[in-house]
Structure 1
């Protein structure tokens, strides 16, 4: 993964889209995917596998592009491309989730499981999260960071939030403003 730390903590679908940053793509190699997966592990039902292949990376990157295009349209109140919605649905069907009845030693419990390779399961989970986000009225509140060279998306928890991260872009913008105010002419 690049030296940049990906922005995480937004809705999962936004975190995925945010792996495309102003500095480049943070999901270039299967190892990059595993590193990002590890950072998001507490929010994903799938355990991080020991390894991932090029097909796994391709499945997740395809979902990322479909989510990005659909989000771009829906945020503006426009119809998303049908091909992207269909592709997100196909990604979910490629690794359908079932609630498996399992005896845990004391009672029957339900464990959600998906079939398929690690990448297909992750892509399905991300597509499912994206579908929920696309259907959520909160999508209209998603913003792009106001820092000049940042493309990150975020769902503000406070109406005055302007940057993807106060420590990432917020500090950079404030320092630049301070420098402009105090530079010797």
Structure 2
């Protein structure tokens, strides 16, 4: 899970995105959206959630994941300080203690134990597996919470940024020192907006 933690937790945060028309879209606005999202990431989840490939979300799973996402995005906002959070989060951030409590509680719902895998023709590897049977909803939120914890406690957190291009609501990992935007199209949009602002005030 650790190798995929930053991808998984960023993917969760990025289910809130710009809709292309000046608004914000939510890829997890219904159970079908969550079902598709989990199945697309089954390879990253299957160690802790063996049924990920056949997962079908219900209302309870959707509510649990949305609560966890709110905690993750609130902690992302804390991680990018003193920079500003994503504009999608500015008015609805959870207090840090509540976000941490929600994250830690979800991670603890399904205890994991280390297991040694050693194929006949390969190297031994340590993997974490659920300590016992768990419902799909608890397995999913626990796996996502642990991915968030691994990311936020790891070196990737220092590269986390909120994109402040007009209409963008994404978080991203800064890949090089001069990177200011999540994607080149956001940089172009920001430059156009600055150009128009300069001409308006001239």
Task: Report the TM range for the smaller structure's normalisation.
Answer: 0.7 to 0.9
The structure-2 alpha-carbon separation of the partners of 1:41 and 1:160, relative to structure 1 and needing over 3 Å to count, comes to: farther
**Structural RMSD (CA):** 3.4
Per-residue CA shift, 1:2-29, capped at 9, x if unaligned? xxxxxxx963222211111232211011
Superposed structure 1 runs of 4+ greater than 4 Å apart: 100-106, 108-111, 170-180
Matched length: 170
CA distance in 1, matches of 2:43, 2:189: 29
> Structure 2: 5+ residue runs without aligned partners?
19-23, 83-94, 198-202
Q: Secondary structure at the match of 1:161?
A: coil
Structure 2 counterpart of 1:151: 169
Structure 2 counterpart of 1:14: 10
Structure scoring higher RCO (CA < 8 A, sep ≥ 6) equals 2
> Structure 1: 5+ residue runs without aligned partners?
1-8, 181-185
State TM-score, norm by structure 2.
Answer: 0.67
Shift of 1:146: 3.5
Structure 1 counterpart of 2:158: 140
Shift of 1:153: 0.2
Per-residue CA shift, 1:38-82, capped at 9, x if unaligned? 3323322353324121111112111111111122123216xx712
Per-residue CA shift, 1:73-93, capped at 9, x if unaligned? 23216xx71222121111011
Q: Is the 8 A contact 2:106 2:145 kept in 1?
A: yes
* In the alignment, structure 1 residue 58 sits paired with structure 2 residue 73: no
CA distance in 2, matches of 1:173, 1:27: 27
State TM-score, norm by structure 1.
Answer: 0.72
Q: Is the 8 A contact 1:60 1:120 kept in 2?
A: no
